[in-house]
Amino acid sequence: GENVEQHPSTLSVQEGDSAVIKCTYSDSASNYFPWYKQELGKRPQLIIDIRSNVGEKKDQRIAVTLNKTAKHFSLHITETQPEDSAVYFCAASNRGGGNKLTFGTGTQLKVEL
């Protein structure tokens, strides 16, 4: 089955700096890669996603890049703000495989003033 690794497990940045979180996946059949933000005790919220037919997607301060050959994808957050502090999860799924999501281990992002 799919295995998703995520790094780093914790990340501290100064407000206004950029944050980058990286994930690798093992199953070349995976074709959908969402990123979720989860605050303590809350539901995971989709912040951005990318499909395997594109290499990059951007939404305001958030961007995701995908390298299918290397099987890795990354989340980039620019101009970080304190409210960006949360746990971020990457995930991978194969639409042809029933859309089951395999999650990464999570990154605790702390944006310091």
Does 111 contact other proteins by CB under 8 A?
Answer: no
| CB-nearer residue toward other proteins: 73 or 89 | 89
Omega within 30 of 0 (cis) for the link into 34: no
Does 49 contact other proteins by CB under 8 A?
Answer: yes
Does 46 contact other proteins by CB under 8 A?
Answer: yes
- Give the residue, chosen from 5, 7, 95, 112, that forms a contact with other proteins under the rule CB under 8 A: 95
Q: Residue type for 48, please? A: I
Cβ neighbors of 105 (< 8 A, separation 6 or more) are 5, 6, 9
Does 81 contact other proteins by CB under 8 A?
Answer: no
Does 93 contact other proteins by CB under 8 A?
Answer: yes
Q: Cα separation of 66 and 81, whole Å?
A: 24
C-alpha dist (Å) from residue 55 to 11, 21, 39, 66, 86: 24, 16, 28, 5, 25
Does 103 contact other proteins by CB under 8 A?
Answer: yes
| CB-nearer residue toward other proteins: 27 or 49 | 49
Residues making contact with other proteins (CB under 8 A): 32, 34, 41-46, 49, 51, 89, 93, 95, 98-106
